[in-house]
Structure 1
């Protein structure tokens, strides 16, 4: 057995090697998919880079604001310091404390940035050192003023040390601001380049997809044109073919009707000599009885030989028995052929059938047989169907009769009739038994005329299942069998949910 992977590989190789519209369309779709995937991945990467650049720009702006906050807070503290020294009013100390509180978060942000970016450590350390020095100088003057040593405090301010701290702090902050501004400009350009590349790639991809779409449309249009041309050629062929089919169908119908009439006539004509044979056989039996009585009377006088007695009392009855059995069998066969012929000529009459009730009535009609053998028939819920009542009764009647006839005596018999609706406007039924079963070689031939399977210990001529298949096909259905010898059989029936006739008595 060829592995599935090898089969799929072989089929794929054939598909790739064979030129076709499907292969071309598949190639274009794969190409478009790969192109879109590439563009999406590239766009995602560019967007990520742009987002990272924007985040860095935003962080740089925060650092610039933080450095400016440090400078502004130190200026506010210096203003508050000088106001307190000039006026001695304690309310000037509140702005000083507020300014000192504002500088701490700003310095913390700068320190955090310096940890992440070692190139900023020198600048941040310088700003921090100068800010602390300026704050220390201001706190020292305020301490002197609170102690009543205003002159010393003012002298400390006039020394210019605080001013030097502030000037150096401005320079340090300006240097950091210039560095961050340069980086912001660089990263802004990087973000703009990434955005431009993204736009260009999407534009190119859109153009390529448009080209692929136009190519696909052209191929589909060409394919549709070829289909239309082929359809026109097919219509031209069908125009003549329909007449041919109609003529041949008419001829076939007439031939079928002729065969049915011939079967009916032949069967009818065969019955005439058969009836004569059966009649003369009865007369011979009566004559035999008269001769037997005469021989009995002659035996009392010893006038009859033993060979005459044997011929009359043994040979003649045996021969007549064979003749009667053969004529009765021939009569049954002729009746079966007549039945098939009449069924083929009977008009079908569709009606809605309660299949559960119909099959239950059939099961009840053989109750005496199932009761005697200890068997049972189970009729499950069966879906209704619109079909010919007589045909359905004969089909299920024959199948149930067969199931009862061939039950296995070694186990309690059970026959189950079930069914369900099937997609597509069909209905399926199953007749299952646990009887003798049928050998696989006989699954098809049991539906042939005069053919039977297994032990021939039951009466019958092998016509029932042939009649069933003929009836099933006539109402548009199918019949199959699943069976295993010694385990039982299941007959599978499938019918259209609604029987539609093309003409009175015929199936569409």
Structure 2
């Protein structure tokens, strides 16, 4: 116990009564809480507003997190459909190459078939990875694995016969219809995957809509309650100020010949002025603070609405039959209307606060495809860091590269970020060398590489470096861990992919793979 709260015992013996002392501040607080007054009413209202704000903040945060999670689940579901379609397209391409070889005997068709056959396991692995934990997806993955293996076995057998000169036997086997049956079963399984994806998207879209509506309702009710509390406080303080003005008039009326009464009223007036100042402090600090928080969370709610709108636009573009007009109305009309109402309410409350103080004192850019000279663009990025490379005794070599039809600004940012990153993490123990190159790839793809002989990246960090706010190796260079995450996101938006090959202490190679021609949907994102 502290000296202020310990019991003092009399020396007269154990039967002496105990004496306790209460700190002056605690006594004043108890008297304040027990005595009905305007100040107590205002404090109670402010406490209620703060508690309400905490509830709103917590619920809004949870709803935003939930919405973000649902959006991520929707994106994963779309990736499942894309993986299934990539798989069936690959098998169809292999079948086309098989038929071409049987008809013409040209080795190019055999090479195309072999490339498709080797790509099939990777496509199956991608599909399995995106359906882990879902019984329907796992069953579809097993079925696709079995059917594609049977189909490639059938095609490989016919190609082997043809390679040995047994063209007639190979054609006869094709005519048995086994290959067509397997392809029909593969296409039927992909159709089942599409049906499953559609049902999953419908469920998640409904959950997202319910979460958005709940957030709107909670914030709208909270805004109304906070505005009501502010109005009540304003009325209470105004009434008090009116009473104070009446008291001043009474003091002036009885001032002559009533010295004692004047002193009494003067004391009351002084106390009243002090209380008014306390009220002004409460209003200007305690009430304005939750108001600012409401404004901030309103902005977050507005951004969440935009995110939902963007997702709904994507769903509307890719699968218009899945979109409900009520959901679109809620996202595009109801949410902005509710946010505007809350914002207008908070602005009104801010004006109320200013009035109280015056009385108390009396005074996601759309992508634009265009043909890009990649060598010229990379050289421009290299020239931009020439002063850094010269200072580090390094060189940037830009080799001839194929052109690309894509969004210029996005590609400039991707290449510039990779070159900047390579320069930043050069090894001072040896002259730096950064090489930018590129080449066409089969199937309408083009690949660009940015290689360096810098510090390199540990194997365990190859994926980590693409995550937000994550960095690898020694943290002796400025940065927030956003560059490569931004690059990967931009590459994916252009329909491409990025990979890294690196050995710690030797250097790194970043490989960018893009479709030769960028295809846009109505929303401006790449297919």
Q: TM-score, normalised by structure 2?
A: 0.44
Higher-Rg structure is 1
Q: TM-score, normalised by structure 1?
A: 0.45
* Structure (1 or 2) with the greater helix fraction: 1
